[in-house]
Every structure is written in structure tokens, then in C-alpha cells.
Structure 1
Amino acid sequence: MIVILKSGASDQQIDHVIERIEALGLQAHLSRGTFRTIVGVIGDESKVSEDSLRSIPGIAQVIPVLPPYKLASLEAHPQRSVVDVSGVLVGGGNLGMIAGPCSVEEPERMDRLAKSARESGANLFRGGAYKPRTSPYAFQGLGVEGLKILKEAGHRYGLPVVTEVTDPRNVEIVSEYADMLQVGARNMQNFVLLTEVGKSSRPVLLKRGMSATIQDLLMSAEYILSQGNPNVVLCERGIKSFDPSTRNLFDVAAVPVLAGLTHLPVIVDPSHATGRPDLIPACALAGLAAGADGVHIEIHDEPEVAKSDGPQALLPEQYQELAGRMRKMAELLGKTISPPNPEVAA
């Protein structure tokens, strides 16, 4: 940590800063320049609060040397993490191919979509049983019944299932049915929810908030990791912009940026990023080319009657074509698509 003092800081103020640092068991290295005086702090930075230092008279700026996301940082964990979702691997050269409808619907449709996703090459099946909606009058999901339908459909075809958990009180029941818990964009900074999923043994898919910085995303991941759950996959799903051409701005650059900061796997969600089926294939391939560890895509066989987000869903045949192209991209990049797991319990 580096402490920069104000240009007019007195000797008494400088001495007080050094005394405060040393009282915390850290070493203070004073450097006086022509215009600035700097104090280098050596030792365990967790012992000192940046805010408490900033409140000391005479201090202009406190600059941490290490990132605040200790457990999520690549420096703390140089080896890339591989997350095991009931036998399907994500990260470390293994691609997670997540497909399914936005919302869990009737059992017959979910069975058709799971079968189609499996035949196309997906290795994880998704669907929302609980839906956080902007309008209180919109479809809110089927709840526990939806969880049962999702699990039965996915596991019938060897596909571990991913679903969103929206309430800390529901973490336990969702964990009974889901192989992976999703924390959506609206809940990325719901710290109570993050703490609860961190206590769960289930892997977590953490989506970037619509207005969140990359550091915000990593700090949210830190909440989960700090509770003892190391199995976190980050998801770039688009951020808000001023341009209405797409639903969100697909920040594909976030993928290599995150790769340089964290050991956690990173996937992309071009469905929510663009909201346009015609743009999903190009953005999915761009995400893989940028280094993503997987792709999350919504599919539906009748988008016009979908319970939610039908306009952004690919038809099963469209996903099948895209999945074939993604397999070729994976081969080109030397990555493996982990096969579905026939041993997941039905």
C-alpha cells in the first residue's frame, strides 16, 4: 500500500501517519520528494483499513498495491480454477455449453428442449424457476414445481441443470434440485444472497450487473469465495449503454481483462447481451475467440409463446448450427467441450 501525503503536510502529521501504521504491526518507509511525500506500507494490508488511513489529517491518497479481491485474484491463485458442475467441467480449457429457455415452462416443452440441447452438443441445461421481473405483473416463474420440471428434463438427458436463485431464503430448496446456482445481474450486489450461496456446496454462476464495473463483479465473487465456496464461474452478459441498437452492450473485452485479473472461469451470455437472435452467433464466437470458458444461450421452440424473453431465443435448429460452429472454434483454440454426464440422478 502506498500513502501519498498532501503537499503541505506538516512533520507532525507525517510522524502521526507513521506511528499509526507501525501501531498496526506494519512497516512504514518514508520517501520525501520535491513536491510530494510518500509512505510505503509493508506487511499484511488486511490489518489496515484504507478508509481509516484516509481520515488521518495530511493524507491525500491511499493506493492499494494488491487488489481488494484477495481470494478471486490471479496473484493469490496463479493456477486457473476448474469448476465441476456434477461431472461437467468449466474452465482450464474446458468449455461450458449452457442452453435452455429463459423460464421453465410445461414439462413436455422442457423435455423437448433438453433433448434438443443435448443432441446439439450442450452440456448444461438452464431455465428459470424463479424470475426477477421489472414488472410485478409479469410471469414470476413456477417456483418449486419449476425446479422439479427442470431437474427431471435435464437429468433425463444427462445434463446438469442451472437455475437462478433470487432470495436468500430459497437457496436451500433451489440447491436440492439444481446442480448450479445462478445469481443474476439484478442480484449481483445482493450481498446477503451472495453470502448464502457462498455457504452452499453448489457451484455458482455469477452474472455481471448491468451497471457493474469489472472490480464490482470480482468483489461480488469475493463474497461467495469468502464463505468457503470456491466454485464460482463469472458471466459477462452485457452492460447498459446509451445505444438502443442492442438490449445491452456486449463487453467482449471484459473476457481477456478478467483473465488477467482472476483465476475464475469466465463465460459469455450473448442472448442477454444483445437481445437479438441475429447477433447471437457472431457474439458467441467472438466470446470464445476472446478466451471465454463457455457460452450461455437461450433457446425456445416457439419464441412467440415463451413465458419470458422469447424474442431473444434461438430456435433449436439455429442453436444446433451455432453449436457446430462453436465446436470447430473450440478445436481451433485447443479447448475441450466436456461431455454431458449420464450419471446425474434422474
Structure 2
Amino acid sequence: MKILVTGGAGFIGSAVVKAALAKGHEVVNVDCLTYAACLASLDDVAGDPRYTFEKVDICDRPALNRVFETHQPDAVMHLAAESHVDRSIDGPETFVQTNVMGTFHMLDAARSLWEAKGRPDTFRFHHISTDEVFGSLGETGKFDEETRYDPRSPYSASKAGSDHLVRAWHETYGLPIVLTNCSNNYGPRQFPEKLIPVTILNALARKPLPIYGAGLNVRDWLHVEDHAEALLLVLTKAEPGATYAIGGEAEAKNIDIVQTLCRILDDRRPDGAPHADLITHVIDRPGHDQRYAIDPSRIRTELGWTPAHTLQQGLEETVDWYLANQAWWEPLQSRDGVGTRLGQSK
């Protein structure tokens, strides 16, 4: 099929673009190239005749209409979003504009195309969201498809709003949507503002490794390539209106992730050992959710998906990728906000 992917120059989006092409699909990548986008992530597919790039902002409705009319996609995978919690604390308006209004424009443009095509049952609008819309867990329990929404940050609130719009377009207009909420992604080509790439690159530069508070916040870690496989499975196999929670079943405290990365780096780059000496505890993020965890039973039972990577394996492969690909990450170090503490406002 021909898939229109928004945010395809981002971390998860680029993994989805490559996975879709590997499965024989055509891909139209719509991305406005914000600070976190990196077209270099797609260098190995840029020459594929089944791949097209459109530099378009999803809030630019005339440009978006042109893309839909020109390419006539069979499906949409909507990943474009502002996604960094710290940045949402400092500048929430951008998150509302992109995540809420951008999703509205995507839904309405997709509905226009779907209706013009005669409302085919095979069309899909796949909205990719986050487990952060569910708020924070205590020491026990997991999020699933029935968990009530309880967003705690401007980022998660804007994603919650977009989720509700997607469901409303299904219920009100009949648009064949599917929706997924994922846990924390990691892996190659992640922009260096998130925990794992920041830790790796700071350690290599012998800079402090910042840990918010005591580092006891727990996340469920999902390798980006496992996530891409799950997303394409949902797109092609799920029934319209279905929702799936996608998690790596790999919970870990932030401090444990950082210490594991330090041990891997001690092995790979012993001249810098012990890298754990660089760990520095800093003032915690306002409203920092304590724990996320996803129960992926539904996608496992109904669609047969399970993650292929263990957390240890995935972290080792991720460190090795960053060590071998300085030419990818070095130019990103000068981009806005990289290396600067954000999100301290109250």
C-alpha cells in the first residue's frame, strides 16, 4: 500500500519509514524538519523510487491538502508531534498547536480524501500516541487499553487531546482509525535530548550525566525497531476503531539505565572508566511522573506481537551504534536546547 507517514524524519518516524519500505510499501514522508528531525537518518533509503519526501508543516492546511490530493495514500501513520516533556514545560503553546491542531488538520484532510475515494473500508488512519496520557502509576499495576486518561504535563495533555480527536473522527464521521499508545522508546538515531542518548554522548565527552532527583522514576523501555514492527502490524491487521497498548515489558529505574550504560561504556571505552563517576543528581522535573508500565497482552494475543529485543541487548546495540556513528550525532550537538537543562519552570 501507499502509506503517508508524518514526522518520518524523526526518531520513531524514520524507523517506521524504513520498516515500511522493507515490507514492500510505498512511503510518502511528510515532515517540516523541526529541531529534532534528521534527514540523515534516511540516507540509506533516500534513493528508493518508492520513497518520497514532502517538507510540509501539518498545520499548513493548503499544503497538506496538496499532499493528500497528489499522493492519494491508502493509509496514514501520524507520528508528527512535539514530544519532549521538558520543552513542553517551557513552551506549551507549540505542543498544543502541533499535537492538537496538527492532528485536527491531519484528520480532516484524511477524511476528505477517504470520502472522495468512496469511504473504502481498507483505508486506515493510524494515530501513534504515548502512555504518558495515562498519568503516573504507583509501585504496582500497568496501563492497558482501558486505563483512564490522567495527563500531568503540557506534552501529555496535548497528546491526550489528539487521541480524543482521533476517536471522535471515528465515532462521528466513521473514519477508519486505529490508535496505539507506546512506552518509552530507545535505540539508534534518537535525538540527544532524551535520557539514553544524553547519557551516552555526555559520557563520551566526559561531561556530567544528569539524573533528575534520586533517579527512581521507572519507565518501560521499548526498542524503536520493535515498536516500528508493532505499528505496521496494527496498521495492516487491526480492525477499525481498535486501540493497542505497546510496551517493551522492560521496566527499569532511570538510575539503573544510566548505570547500565556506564558499565557498557566501561567495556567499550575502558580509558574513560568508571563512567559512573560522572553521574550527577539535579533538581527534579516539575510534575515528574513516578512510574509507567504497559500491559501489552492485547496486541500479543490478537496480533501475535512480542518485542524482539531484551533491554540489555538493546542497550548494548544502542551504545555500539552511537560509538560507530559520530558523523550522525555530532552535527546535532549544536541544535537548539541540546546540552541545556530545560523544563525547570513551576
Q: TM-score, normalised by structure 2?
A: 0.32
- Could you say which structure has the larger radius of gyration? 1
